[in-house]
Chains A and B, each alone.
Chain A
């Protein structure tokens, strides 16, 4: 059995690093091939923000490397704007071509950009502050709006729109989401979708970090370790769950009685658990078993 499992593990094909492949293709000037690879990678789920930023930077590089056309340049602009949304400092440009770097620099000064440090995980049941700032050119005094929605199943999300407060001293905009207020979940495990729009005084959208169709996804959790490690802002950095001393352990002298009762509970519980297990019914094409390393 062990030998079979080992052979299965050894025979499994290595996971190709498609992003690295696309990077090599861009470096080699094979821009059309790189775009095909980048398209495939972007369709996959599980890309980290850093990988997404590199995807956008490479996509812009490849588009600008193709024979010049207005459409390619517009797509490259769009890709670089998305890169900045994910990676406000533009560190992903390290792998981009000189042409893409130059266009990114141009955009940074000539376009309005809504930049925010995207929050991936936050503790549930605590006030949450979302901050953003504007970069690039400003037309009048724009207003920033936060649109958010706590997702329920597979429904089309309905967004709640609130204006973000401008803090002139720090030149940032912020909005607070408070548990149980305005559709914000009071606790538990939830997926919160949000995006931030900058609107000029005439009502024209200057930029949007995330969109209604492709929002920023934030996991609200009180169990994930990433969330547990982040102290909510209203806690002043105190530990989220103060360590309470355990109550004094009761002492029972009659071990025989306790042992018998515990034994009955354990055996009964185990039998009930076994009987209540759902019996998986494999589909038509049973492809077998995959062991996680």
Chain B
């Protein structure tokens, strides 16, 4: 009887598995898509190590291998959810780069921690770089 109770308790706990740690990135900036920017590049960097874990591009113009960046006539405002599925990067830095053609027109960056079973919300303002 006791053994059955313990086993059922363990089974119940197993069913309540936590979600994968995730970060919801909300990016915004004074850029009209596609007039001021037509490509978004986002990379996740191991921090403070500096190794790039993952990078991804979104393009307004259809390009093979580049996901779609929708038009944003009211200003750049986009969100991406980064999920640690199987990996274990506790502390990361997120770099955001907006481009118009081959020119970098906007940059943003922030560091964050993945928290077990939670989705952390991270706001990243994207501003014009000072060259």
| Residues of B with C-beta under 8 A to A39 | 131
Q: Would you call A280 and B119 a contact (CB within 8 A)?
A: yes
A287: CB under 8 A from chain B?
yes
Asked if A290 contacts B80 (CB within 8 A), the reply is yes
> Would you give the shortest CB distance from B79 to chain A, in whole angstroms?
4
Chain B contacts for A12, CB-based, 8 A: 54-57, 65
Contact between B56 and A284, CB atoms less than 8 A apart: no
Q: Are B81 and A46 in contact (CB under 8 A)?
A: no
- B91: chain A residues within 8 A (beta carbon): 224
**B62 contacts chain A at the CB level, 8 A cutoff:** no
Partner-binding segment picked from A67-75, A82-90, A135-143, A263-271: A263-271
Are A289 and B80 neighbours in the complex by a CB distance under 8 Å? Answer: yes
Residues A46 and B52 in contact in the complex (CB < 8 Å), given A284-B77, A285-B77, A287-B58: yes
Interface centre among B66, B69, B78 (most CB of A within 10 A): B78
Q: Is the CB of B79 within 8 A of A286?
A: yes
| Contact with B85, one of A46, A226, A292 (Cβ below 8 angstroms) | A292
User: Which residues on the A side are within 8 Å of B72 (C-beta)?
Assistant: 284-285
Are B9 and A45 within 8 A (Cβ)? no
Q: Are B79 and A292 in contact (CB under 8 A)?
A: no
Q: Are B57 and A43 in contact (CB under 8 A)?
A: no
Interface 9-mer from A144-152, A195-203, A241-249, A254-262: A254-262
11 extra A-B contacts, CB within 8 A, seeds A255-B6, A287-B80: A12-B56, A48-B49, A256-B5, A267-B16, A283-B77, A287-B58, A287-B79, A290-B54, A290-B82, A291-B83, A292-B83
Interface residues of A (CB under 8 A from B): 5, 11-13, 15, 39-40, 43-48, 51, 120-121, 219, 224, 226, 255-256, 259-260, 262-263, 266-267, 270, 273, 277-278, 280, 282-293
